Amino acid sequence: MIINGIKSGHHETGSKVISIDSTVIDRYYARSLADLISENSSVFIKTYDQGGIAVPSLRGTSASQTQVAWNGISLNNPMLGQFDLSLVPAGFIDDVNVFYGGASMSLNNGGIGGIINLETKPDWSGKNSLLLSPAAGSYGRYSGLLKAKVRTNRFQSVTRAFIRDARNNFSYINDVLTSVPFRERRKDSQVYQRGLIQELYLKGTRSKASAKLWYQSEFRNIPVPMTTQPLNPCENQKDESFRTMMSYNTERGRTDLDVVAAYISDKLYYSNTVASVDSRNESGRMILKSDLKRSIGEKNNIRIGLTGEMNFVKTNNYSGSKGRNTAAIYISGETHLTPLLVTEIILRETIYDNRFLTPDFSAGAEYRILPVGNFKIKAKISKNSRIPSMNEMYWMPGGNPDLRSESGYTAEITGEWSGNLGSCVRLAGDLTCFRNHIYNMIQWQPGEYTYWVARNISELKTSGIESNAEIEFTSGKFMAGLNAGYTLTKAINNHNGTDGNGKAERQIIYVPVNQLVASLQLRWFHLHSSINSDYFSRRYLNPDNTQYLPGYSVTDLDIGYNMVSDKVRCDFSLRAENIFDANYQSIAYYPMPGRAYLFSVVFQLNK
């Protein structure tokens, strides 16, 4: 479930960072990035219906306070301020690194809760290969993934393509529309997706260069809530993205230089004929990043980074076209004070539209308890800022161009350990305690007229614990692994006021206090199986916590057969989802499917 080894080259001293690598992603080729992250980390995913929007929330923060990046370049839409994980198939990504809290400072600003970094990268040790992964499942789900790699000693080309079509016409129990629950079938929930990533890599003696192109589009009908009769015609939304990235890296002795240039174009068209709404939104971003690292002696590193970004938006929901320019500079220093103690400090200054933000910072330390083994204590304090999204500033009506940036202060301490018991058993685990205090929270509130207005109105305090444990037993051709993670999150909005008893600590909406993820994996010769179970406690629907969605648990079962030779690999897998047929909602009045099945094949040819 959770791979604790840190595989990222970014700063993480004193921070919690987890990595979901290709060995885990291999089991999710027929599923979305939202499924992968939800089942293999403590990230809470807010999902609107099967095939609907899925946005992440880290440590009780909002989707706009949780950044999603592609090789260090932010993917969060400048208009919405967030990123939809349901748009990306898991097979498009090689590694997923989740940087919690202050660890996000090493990539970008704005990730008060953290940053999810998606990596696509070359594999110079592998052979030329062609991978095909078709899949078919319940409720009209069909998908196909292709990955082709061609390489020489210095050049590599990787092509990824996918297509997905789903009707999502599952049946569910409607217990809100009438006093007597009844079963009905979901309507107007069709989704059609397609995408392509082309990567080119060139490797020299002391330098590397790459060029990447990512095109993706999606058309989906939007179903109405359970409380509403279907519309005719139904609402629909079309998303289209075009992303390009070029990078250059060179190493000269103790100096390492990275330069990245990227262009990202996003289009979102929403249509509701019944309500006479035709929303057409287009945004473009140009980003240039440079990162210089210099080693000073054997124990010290210094890093300087510069980022420039231009945003421009064209929409019929603003008063004219809008744009925004941002620039940031950061400097960090890392030193090994002793063989067992490492410290790091990061300072970041951000400028947008000729306005200087209060500088952000982080300070972290790691202490290895014993000279041998992996027993560490980590600690970090940080301040991070989020610039208001373009919609929060310019949406008509309700946008507020005078909004102040949000500021978040974070403190965390982590204990991390791993080791072996004999030659057959591996153990690993970590325990983190964290606390966030976010000022100038931006929320949409009813205004003086009939529309809502974006305002800086409140403070948010989140605190809690995150724990993960793994045990793996291997003997010959047999392997058994048990993974479990528990998260406790208290997220209190100070603007909620007090009730008649003077109680002020109410949980913010849609953030569960308790979250548990567990996975059992078995492998014997060519057979493999896994069972995954997720539990989420109740989620409140209003600020005074008088209404809530009940807690729920979902369990999935996978059974497969794998055949591998030097040149051919073939894996057949049958997945039973929600095997106990739980009736639940992630978002109020948007039902999720009951028991469902998915059959997939992974065929790989190596040469």
**Token code pair at residue 328:** 């940031």
Distance CA 581, CA 556 (A): 10
One-character DSSP codes across 193-211? EEEEEEEEEEE-SSEEEEE
Q: Which domains does the chain have, with CATH numbers?
A: 17-606 (2.40.170.20)
Q: What is the pLDDT of residues 159-207, one digit of tens each?
A: 999 999 999 999 999 988 888 889 999 999 999 999 999 999 999 989 9
| Of 109, 142, 161, residue with least CA distance to 387 | 109
Q: Which pLDDT score, from 0 to 100, does residue 560 have? A: 95
What radius of gyration, in Å, describes the C-alpha atoms of the chain?
24
**Distance (Å, rounded) from C-alpha 296 to C-alpha 179?**
72
DSSP single-letter state for residue 448:
S
- Residues written for the chain: 607
H or E element: which one contains 397?
none
Specify whether the CB–CB gap between 97 and 7 falls below 8 A: yes
- CA 478/CA 186 separation, integer angstroms: 42
User: Which residues are within 8 A (CB) of 419 and not within 5 positions of it... i.e. 6 or more apart?
Assistant: 373, 374, 375, 426, 427, 428
Residue predicted with more confidence, 14 or 400? 400
Q: Can you tell me the mean pLDDT for 58-84?
A: 92
Cα→Cα distances 85→38, 47, 53, 379, Å: 10, 10, 7, 30
Q: Which helix (H) or strand (E) holds 22?
A: helix 22-25
The continuous run of DSSP H or E covering 544 comes out as none
List, as own/partner pairs, every contact residues 180-186 make where C-beta atoms lie below 8 angstroms and the sequence separation is at least 24, other chains included. Answer: 186/49, 186/50, 186/223, 186/591, 186/593
Task: Tabulate helix, strand, coil % of the chain (nearest 5).
Answer: 5, 60, 35
Q: What is the pLDDT of residue 279?
A: 94
Q: Considering the chain, what is the average pLDDT of its residues?
A: 90
Q: Model confidence over 135-151: pLDDT tens digits?
A: 999 999 999 999 999 99
**Which pLDDT score, from 0 to 100, does residue 48 have?**
81
Q: What is the mean pLDDT of the segment spanning 27-51? A: 87
How confident is the model over 506-534, as pLDDT tens digits?
A: 899 999 999 999 999 999 999 999 999 99
Task: Find the range with the poorest average confidence among 22-31, 473-482, 531-540.
Answer: 22-31
The whole-angstrom separation of Cα 578 and Cα 58 is 24
401 torsion bin: left (phi>0), alpha (psi -120 to 50), beta (else): alpha
How many of the other CB atoms lie within 10 Å of CB of 214?
21
Which pLDDT band, with edges at 50, 70 and 90, does 372 fall under?
low
454 contacts 444 by C-beta, under 8 angstroms: yes
Residue 8, pLDDT above cutoff 70: no
Do the bridges between strand 66-70 and strand 114-119 make them parallel or antiparallel, or are there none, so unpaired? parallel
Q: Provide the pLDDT confidence category of residue 10 given band limits of 50, 70 and 90.
A: very low
Name 517's Cβ contacts closer than 8 Å, sequence gap at least 6.
1, 39, 40, 41, 42, 484, 485, 532, 533, 534, 535
Tell me the per-residue pLDDT of 538-572, one tens digit each, with 9 for 90 and over: 999 988 899 999 999 999 999 999 998 888 999 99
Whole-angstrom CA distances from 593 to 52, 94, 323, 328, 351 are 12, 29, 41, 44, 46
pTM as predicted: 0.92
